[in-house]
Structure formats: structure tokens, C-alpha cells
Amino acid sequence: MTIKPLIILPDPILRQVSKPVERVDSEIRKLAEDMLETMYDAPGIGLAAVQIGVMRRMLVIDLSKEGDPKEPQVFINPEILASSDDRSVYEEGCLSIPDYYAEVERPATVTVKYLDANGVEQTVEADGLLATCLQHEIDHLNGVLFIDHISRLKRDMVIKKFTKAARTKATI
């Protein structure tokens, strides 16, 4: 397993739409392992392949509490089939936008169809943190960031801050 470098805002790759995984094979399973290792190292609870520069519709999630056994989940070609009218608000953060958090309102429950790490089609009815995390990571696969769900003023401030930090880093 390999820890991969994270893609950080304002990198334009984060705004690209990821391509479907054609077939689930050993290469895809290795990618899932690397993604999980990278996510645990960060540390985070979810990671989309685009966040490590791989333009494939794939994400990993682990919502286990610190000290509990790990519960890694792999979602390949995830697709939201349905979402509730009920809404929930969570304070979200993102490994690609380090140290920035904001409250985001999303559907409270979602139904997601996906392939697991063995290529078997699955469907999950998700609520709570899993629903929020799935929506956040699926957004990544569509070139959408959680800051796109906050006010334009706050979003512009965050983008400006990270653009400035990237320029400063580039000149060092």
C-alpha cells in the first residue's frame, strides 16, 4: 500500500468530472487500498480518487470511531438513485481544502447504487454521516466541492486564500 499526495485547492483537476471504472480488477483493488491508506494517514473519513489525481469514479469511506476496528468501504461508480426532501446540516471539511470547515445542508437520506471492491452491484440506503459523506465524495467525482454549497462570499474568500497560498508555495 502506498500513501499518495493529496490534490489541494485551487488545483483545477478538482473541478474535472471523473470517468467510470470499466472493470473491477486487481489494479482497481490496489487503488482502493492506496486510497484507504492515504485517507487514514491524512486523517480523514472519506476520499475520492480525484483527490489523489486519479480520474476514476471511485471513493472510499470509513466512519469507524478512533480506537474501534476499521470499517473500510469501497464505492466504485457510485450513483445517487434517490434523495430525501428532508434536509440535514453537518459541519464538513475536506482533505483537499485543509483546515477549513463550514456547515453544509444536504438531503438527510440518499439511496446509492455502486460496485463493491469485488465488482458486485450493491445498493445502500444511507442517512446521517454516511449520507453526508457519500454526497460529499460523489460531488468530488462530478467536479463539485463542498464550498460550492456555501455562500458565494465565503466560497470566494476560501478560493482566494488557497490560491494565494499556492502562489506563495510556488515561489519558495
Describe the strand order of the beta sheet including 73-83 as a list of residue ranges. Answer: 46-48, 58-61, 73-83, 109-115, 121-127
Which of left, alpha, beta for 141 (phi over 0: left; psi -120 to 50: alpha)? alpha
The answer to whether 150 and 98 are in contact (CB under 8 A) is no
Cβ–Cβ under 8 Å, residues 7 and 47: no
The span from the CA of 141 to the CA of 78, in Å, is: 9
121 is catalytic: no
Catalytic residue among 22, 66, 79, 137: 137
- CB-CB neighbours of 42 under 10 Å: 14
User: Which residues, listed in sequence order, are joined to residue 118 by a DSSP beta bridge?
Assistant: none
List, in sequence order, the alpha helices (H) in the chain: 26-41, 128-141, 152-171
Mind telling me the catalytic residues? 137
